[in-house]
Every structure is written in C-alpha cells, then in structure tokens.
Structure 1
C-alpha cells in the first residue's frame, strides 16, 4: 500500500474536481477522479419548448459557451429534420472556430503553462539572453531586451511584496521544472501578452454572435445575424482572425515547440489507450462525410485502423456515480436521478457518469481529433504533426502522452485557424452574389428524437432530445469532461484521466506538479460535466427563471 495523496480542489479549471492518487516508489499506482459538484441542467429542461434549450444549455459554463448552444440547436434541427442554409453553416463554423482559437490560447497560457514554467526562476534570467532565445524560437518575435527586463521587474515587485498575484500558489522551485531561467522569463512575458490577445480574440465571436460569452445569434433552423452580413462586419471579423493567427503562428506554436524540447521525457507519461472524435466543421449538408475534422474511433492506439462511429453503442455507467441504480443506459434513454450517500472510492465517488463506447473508456479532445484526422489522411493535420515531431525531435509514439495532448491542442489551433480563411471567403462570395439566406423555417414536430453532435475544444460533445407534445420530454448531455474525467464503470475500468495518471512520476508529494500537468492537459470543465443539490436532504433544487 502506497501513500495516498489528495488534491482538492484542482485549480485553474472550470468547476470542482478532486483527484486522489496512490503513490509508491515515486510513481502513481492508482487514481480516482471525482467531480464534486451537481447541477441538473437536464432536469431543468423538461417540459420546456425545444427552441429554448440552446439558450439554457450554453450557460452550463462561462468558458466553453458557444459549444452547448451549437450542440443543442443541432439536436433540435435533427429532430425536426431541418437542413440549414449554406450561410448559416458558414456562420456556425466561424463562430465555432473562434471558440477554438480563444479556448486553446487561454488553456495553454493561463490554465496549463504554469505546470511547465517556473515563474520565480525567471528572476534569475538574463533579459538579453531571453531576447536572443526569443529571436531564435520565433524570428517574428515582437519583444526585445527592454520588454523582457520590464516583465522581470514586474515579477520582482510581486515577489518582494510577498504576494505573487496571478502567479500565487504555484509549486515554484519543484525539481520537476526543467526550463532554464531565460526560457521561464520568455514564457512569463508571453503569458502576459496572451492575456491581452485572448481579450481581442474573444471579440471575434461577438461580431456574428452579438456578444461573448453566451452569443445570441443561433436559432433552430440557422442563425439570426442577417444585419451583420455586410462588407464592414465581414472585414472586421477577418481582421481579428488575422491578428489572432499572427499570435498563433509567431508566439503560441513556437512556445509549445520550445517547451516540448525541454520535456521530451513527458512523451512517455500520461497516455491512454482508446480515442473518440465526433468530427467537426461540416463543409456541406452531408454529415459526417463532409466534416473537415473527421469522425472516428481508435482502439489500442491503432491510428492506421480508424473505425466509423456508431453512436448507438454509447452508454453511460453509474456504478461508481451518485445516481440511482447501476444500469448502463444509452444517452437517448438516459436518466438523471441523483442519489448521494457517501464518498467512497471503492463504491461511489463522483457526480460524473462514466460514458463508454463499445464498452471501453475513450479519450476525447484535441489529441483524439488529431489522431483520427492523421489516421484518415487529413493533409493539414499530417503536415502539422510531422512538422512538429521533426522540429522537436521526437517520434510519433510520443503523441500518446501528456506532451502529445498539449502539442495536439496547439497543432489543431493552427489547422482550424487556417481553415477559417476559406469559410470567411465563402461567406463573402455568397453575400456578394446576393445570397443572404441564413434561416430555414420549420414546424416543430409533435414527437421526435434528435441528436446533436459536435467536437469542441475539450472533446466530443453530444446532446440528445426527446420531444413529446412539442415540448422537451427528455434531454441528456454527454460532455467531453464526462468522457475524460468520469469514474470507473460497471466493469471497474478506469476513466481516461485515471488511466493517464498511472505511472506518473511524483518527485515531491508535497509539490505534486506532475499530477497537475496531466490533469490540466485534459482541460477539465466540471461545470459542464455534472448534472444543484443539497447534500443534507438530497433534494434537487428547482428554479423559476423570470
């Protein structure tokens, strides 16, 4: 029996997550992932108009806002048998692409970078050497010696004051950090620069979405931003896209490559076995055939053998979750009946369910999408992956790791960002030709079933709806963090993050930065993944929105 280590709460994520591990001989031998927040969106939706669902579900989270809205309108589109106009598809793609660009920048710099970057070490750096490294890493670097010296002085004031501000509560000084002081200073400078850039990138969604977070432009049947399809607004969107891609190409990608070069050993740490991608960004009305990022499943790391996806084979297990019963159900027939009794990692220990595909746990997210696209011959993805592997000097096998997961997020940012240029061009050409149709009228069916799939920054997201008497009879969400951070299933198979943590080295149990690295690489969003409850009375609260 090894030493038990509990990290609760995990910070720099959305929601409440508890990670417990057993450490022996300096490595993790067992792990338990516990979502400690219950919500109940599915319960709130019952009896409502299906057209309201997207406005409510997108408020599951203030980070990944648009993604639930898109999955929701897609599932009602499906139930009502609607084919949306081409312009609506393009606007939805551009909004979704904007979400990816913003989300991935925020994740790397502000949620996970500090797991690899020792901020306090940057005080020992030579700003002149940092400027030299910046020029070598990215010839288009916009920072000079004085810029890095200014950042260093700001950090020094933080430290001397006894308060590190936004850099507080890190495991600074841990032997797990490997970057030299000059690279730490470079990363700290780009952390601050990314704060400014992400605010500008967030404005992209507001051009066609009316605001961010929680855009208002979606509708079952299409979108509603007719007055924004003008030359000025399209040019405004394109300018923001160009600015963001400049940061991606000249700061984000070089930073990831630079950091990866110092952490090559993490190419064998934090891996999982199976991968699932729903695919995303339809190029026409034929799905999944037209998806720019393809749909597929990979078992036992067989990238060359990508399998088609049958969503009828998805089930959610609750043996180790705080819900009634222990029967695994498909999402279309899913139930949300909370029943908290006690926290016990040998019994029930999470508010998340445990989704399985063909009975297997599946990692979803950037790495899954990149592996599926690579296996199916997506040229843009293959070029990006092969280029990074060559630049860093690591083999393809290292993709199955925490390092690979982090790199995949950066690579697909570039791939999706580049693809957005084509969608912008298409939309401009359609408008020039006088095609302004963005909505398809429809009649809500008395009864129906619909599924809305999309792949979002954190992974495969699905919404399932049952319509009865033109109202929502049942509604279920299976979100990326449920796939990745859910507990064991009926067969006691570990969830992906639990599997990924096995074998992780822990140099100092009092400073478990290595565990945090792998957990953060999945970009947890527990607010989306759990279904508000009183732990004393077990009562699910009901709210009336006025």
Structure 2
C-alpha cells in the first residue's frame, strides 16, 4: 500500500515547485511527480516587437538568471540576421557569463544546498580549536583562527537561544541523515556567512561591463561597452584592472574556501549515491575560444549522452524539428486550441496557450493521471534529458576534454569514488564545484586576452552591419543557445517583416522539472527521486537533497505577464 507525500513549496529555490511522491511501507519512493505551480507566458508580450529589443523583456524572466536570457535572446537575433560580433564583445560577454556562473554556483552551494548536508544547530557542539585545525589543514584561507570560529559559534548560539533562527529557520536540524561532525558543521556555517559578503563583489563585473546588476545591458551586434583606455568616460584602464582584481579574488575564494569545503563535506557522504535518475545528458555547449558558432572549439563540448553510455556522443541540431520538441500531454496547455496525444512542437512553431484543468483549491493532491503542471515536457528525439553541471561534465569527459578529464579523475581519486558515483545527487554537487574551478580559470584567460587585444590597439565592441530592418529578409529564424549555470538554454525567434512573429524559450529547469510525456517517460526530477528511501516521512530531507542538487529555477520555467496592463499576475488555483 503506497502513501502520497506532498512537499509544496520546495524552498531554497527560485520560483514555485511542488513535488508529490508515493512511498511504500518501507519509506522508499516508488513514484514521483514534479509540478510547476505558476504559469509562464512571457513569450506572448514580445510578439510584434522589434527583435533587437526582445532581450530587455525576456531578461526579466528571472531576477537570478538575468544575463543568460538576455544573451540567449541576443544570440537568437544575431543568428537569424547573420550578424557577427567583434572579438572583444565575445570576450566581454563570456567574462560576464563566467562571472554569473561563479556567483551562482557559490551561492547555490552555500545558501541553497549546503543546509541539506550541514546541521547548523549541531555546530554548537563543535570545538573551535579543532575546527581551526581542520580549516588550516585543507586550505590557506586566512580566516581560520580559533577566535574566528569561536565568534561564529557565539553568533549561532545567540540565534538558537533567542528561539529565532532567522535565515536558518525551518531546517530539519537533528535529522538522522546528517553525518558531519560538529567541527565541519561549524566550518561550513562560517563560510556560509562569508559567502554572503563575497557574492556581492563578483557581480561588480556586470556593473562595469553592463552598467548594472541585475539586468545588465547588451546590444545586438556586440556590447554597449565603450572601451576608452585613457579616457574618463567608458571602461578605462582603471575599470579593467578592477575587473581583473575581482577575477583574482573569485579564484582565491573558489579554490581556498568553496572547493575545500565541498570535498570535506562530500567525504562524509560518499555512500549517498542516490538521485541519479535518467542518465541521459544534454549539453548545447558554450565558451568557444574563437566565436559562438565555432562549436568545435567549445570549452564545454556540445552533445548528447544516452543511458550513461560515455562511449558515444550524439550530435544535436537545435533547428531540426525532429530533435527538439515540447510535449503538453501532462501540462496545462493546448496546441492550436486542442490536445492530441503525443503532439509535440519544435520551438520555432511552439505555442503558449493556457488551459488549466487541474483541481480547485483547496486540494491535498494533484490528479497525476491527468495534467498536473504548468511546465511543458521538452524532449530530444522523444527522450527526456538532464541538463546542468553534471551533464556538461559527463559530455566533456566523454569527449576527452583534457582539463575536464583531469579534474574529474583527480577528484574521484581523492574521494576514492568510481566515475559512476557522479551520477547522483552528491555527484551533481561535486560536478558544480569542479565546473566552478574550470570557469574561474577560463575567466582569467579571457580577461588576459581582452587586455592583449586592447594593447594591440583593438578597442571595438560593436558591429552594426545589417542592423537596419530595411536590409533584413522578409522572413528569418534564429536560435540563441548557450550554457547557463543550471544547464542548456535555448531561445528561438521567428522574425517577419522586421517584427517578432513568434518566440519560445526552453530553459534548463523546463528540461529537468518536466512532467511525464505521452509515453509516460518521467522528467529528470521525477526519475531522480524514484528508489530513494526516506528516513522520516515527516521530514523528507532526502527529497530536498535530490531536488536542490539540480539548482531549480522555476521562475525561468514558468512566468506570466498580463497582456492588457503588462502587470505581473498572481495565480491562485481555483
């Protein structure tokens, strides 16, 4: 006899996600359902708008993933109109995206995911002297004295004694699934607090190159970043060296704080190889050393891996209507005002037609035999896919990308784990950290190349060739692809007579959080949850660990704007 457990909302994510699982008498999850409980529709407000302005609208899909939606939109227009950007613009865009990756991954680890592994209250039992010894044995980070950790412990004690845990409220403290000794818990909490201060520094790169954060400025044809080395206006030498210093600071924090903490925590959870799921991995590829269309020189290689088979990488064509399709069999949408089983659409021809058929509030559970989510079900050749840091690492490893192979092999050796252990919740968490190390190194290299170009006299950042709509073809289609922190991101645009005729965005969390399709194939979250044992059904920490390992962003996957007033709308089911 199975029992339905509902977690709504999943906290410490961006947006609104509901998860329902069926557990057997032993507490093992035998079925799972992922439901986006808000509705997207931002694609509708960009219809009939100037394609060169769409990026500014779709960037507001999310307050966390701002840069990636802007950049994917810009790339879709440039692809449609065959606009090639200057080398400096390519480097600046990559540096900005790399800065977002580093910021996002560090914030996710400490502020969204670490508390699934770290027992904050248990840190009160720690010996600060032993925490200091451990910290100094794994890193050269200067904040590691006995007095420092004593002060942190005293702060936590004041919160606990007050009965108001603040940012640490509502945790499952004392849960049997926590394994860290008190001293490691104290170390992690101290760095949680430090990361709050650090994260506001790295985003200054966006304010320098993009004018602000969040929602930095972009432009079709390059960057609206005037390089003026000796002038007072624009990005001068002082500003460039400030960016360079911020990159060095990020490198130090990642390598001296984040990674040592990740490995220290991970070493206590080496048996936590749950939450693998699909073992189908999708990566569009990104960070070309030449230009975005040179896919052979991607630092993150493009490709598909099916069933965990690293001996074969399948090619992917984002414009092929037979490859990328979105299905709506279990989603609250219609196509052409109707619903047919297995009716998938390629994003070039995609539609956003709302059709809520779910239960009226209040309700305890969803009818998961019918439609149960505002998220569509994207598929590659009708296969559900996982995307994100683990997918990128697996594709890169399979492709023999040497720096990826080396860092993966070295880390697995240090943890005494096989490669297969990465296909798990803890594996996704490790993959995200390793990727951050690689990206901080790429960011340093890209900044050095930007310096080199400028010293050679190249200060150009914008190409406005073919910028006039009078010179455009009457019809054009383009796709802007990239790798965002959470995975493969695609924006598809259909341009007609100088205006946006149709627009569709398929985001990483749409892939990962998708419901079942017409073949009853599970999405990545759903597949990852199956087979996991809950130690305490009243405190489903295991569900949180697995879902958080994907770093969900449901604000990207679902969104609504009122077409009449252009105001955001709150959805209350029923």
TM range, normalised to the smaller chain? Answer: over 0.9
Equivalent residue for 2:496, pick from 455, 464, 468 = 468
Q: Secondary structure at the match of 1:33?
A: strand
Look up the match of 1:346.
Answer: 369
**Following the alignment from structure 2 to structure 1, what is the Cα–Cα distance between the partners of residues 288 and 558?**
28
Conservation of the 8 A alpha-carbon contact between 2:45 and 2:563: no
Look up the match of 1:209.
Answer: 210
**Following the alignment from structure 2 to structure 1, what is the Cα–Cα distance between the partners of residues 481 and 559?**
18
Conservation of the 8 A alpha-carbon contact between 1:44 and 1:542: no
Equivalent residue for 2:350, pick from 322, 334, 340 = 334
**Following the alignment from structure 1 to structure 2, what is the Cα–Cα distance between the partners of residues 507 and 6?**
16
Range with bigger deviation, 438-447 or 474-483: 438-447
| 2:318 maps to 1:317 | no
Q: TM-score, normalised by structure 2?
A: 0.92
| 2:120 maps to 1:92 | no
Equivalent residue for 1:500, pick from 518, 525, 528 = 528
Look up the match of 1:536.
Answer: none
Q: Secondary structure at the match of 2:533?
A: coil
After superposition, residues 169-188 of structure 1 pair within 5 angstroms as 169-188=170-189
Look up the match of 2:440.
Answer: 417
Q: Secondary structure at the match of 1:505?
A: coil
**Following the alignment from structure 1 to structure 2, what is the Cα–Cα distance between the partners of residues 332 and 390?**
45
Conservation of the 8 A alpha-carbon contact between 2:284 and 2:481: yes
How far apart are 1:543 and its partner, in Å?
3.1
Q: Secondary structure at the match of 1:476?
A: strand
Range with bigger deviation, 163-172 or 299-308: 299-308
After superposition, residues 256-335 of structure 1 pair within 5 angstroms as 256-285=262-291, 286-311=293-318, 312=320, 313-324=323-334, 325-326=339-340, 327-335=343-351
Specify every segment of 5 or more residues in structure 2 that has no aligned partner in the other structure, as ranges. Answer: 228-233, 360-366, 568-574
**Following the alignment from structure 1 to structure 2, what is the Cα–Cα distance between the partners of residues 121 and 419?**
38
Specify every segment of 5 or more residues in structure 1 that has no aligned partner in the other structure, as ranges. Answer: 534-539
Per-residue deviation, residues 461-490 of structure 1 (Å, max 9, x unmatched): 000000011011000000000000010011
Per-residue deviation, residues 200-228 of structure 1 (Å, max 9, x unmatched): 11212211011110001x11111010144
Conservation of the 8 A alpha-carbon contact between 2:40 and 2:374: no
Per-residue deviation, residues 413-460 of structure 1 (Å, max 9, x unmatched): 000110111111111111111111111112332321000000100000
After superposition, residues 103-122 of structure 1 pair within 5 angstroms as 103-122=104-123
Cα 1:132–1:351 shift into 2, 3 Å: same
Equivalent residue for 1:240, pick from 233, 243, 246 = 246
**Following the alignment from structure 1 to structure 2, what is the Cα–Cα distance between the partners of residues 543 and 96?**
32
How far apart are 1:167 and its partner, in Å?
0.3
How far apart are 1:542 and its partner, in Å?
3.1
Range with bigger deviation, 262-271 or 368-377: 262-271
**Following the alignment from structure 1 to structure 2, what is the Cα–Cα distance between the partners of residues 129 and 386?**
30
Range with bigger deviation, 436-445 or 160-169: 436-445
Conservation of the 8 A alpha-carbon contact between 1:272 and 1:401: no
How far apart are 1:351 and its partner, in Å?
0.4
How far apart are 1:503 and its partner, in Å?
1.0
**Following the alignment from structure 2 to structure 1, what is the Cα–Cα distance between the partners of residues 226 and 462?**
9
Aligned length: 538
Look up the match of 2:192.
Answer: 191
**Following the alignment from structure 2 to structure 1, what is the Cα–Cα distance between the partners of residues 115 and 533?**
18
Q: Secondary structure at the match of 2:463?
A: coil
| 2:14 maps to 1:14 | yes
Look up the match of 1:127.
Answer: 128
Look up the match of 2:543.
Answer: 515
**Following the alignment from structure 2 to structure 1, what is the Cα–Cα distance between the partners of residues 419 and 392?**
15
Conservation of the 8 A alpha-carbon contact between 1:532 and 1:541: no
Look up the match of 1:439.
Answer: 462
Per-residue deviation, residues 216-266 of structure 1 (Å, max 9, x unmatched): 1x1111101014443212110010011111010001011111111100111
Q: Secondary structure at the match of 2:271?
A: helix
**Following the alignment from structure 2 to structure 1, what is the Cα–Cα distance between the partners of residues 148 and 445?**
36
Cα 1:487–1:359 shift into 2, 3 Å: same
| 2:499 maps to 1:487 | no
Equivalent residue for 2:258, pick from 252, 256, 259 = 252
**Following the alignment from structure 1 to structure 2, what is the Cα–Cα distance between the partners of residues 357 and 215?**
32
Q: Secondary structure at the match of 1:220?
A: coil
How far apart are 1:400 and its partner, in Å?
0.6
How far apart are 1:139 and its partner, in Å?
3.8
How far apart are 1:375 and its partner, in Å?
0.9
Look up the match of 1:153.
Answer: 154
**Following the alignment from structure 2 to structure 1, what is the Cα–Cα distance between the partners of residues 275 and 553?**
22
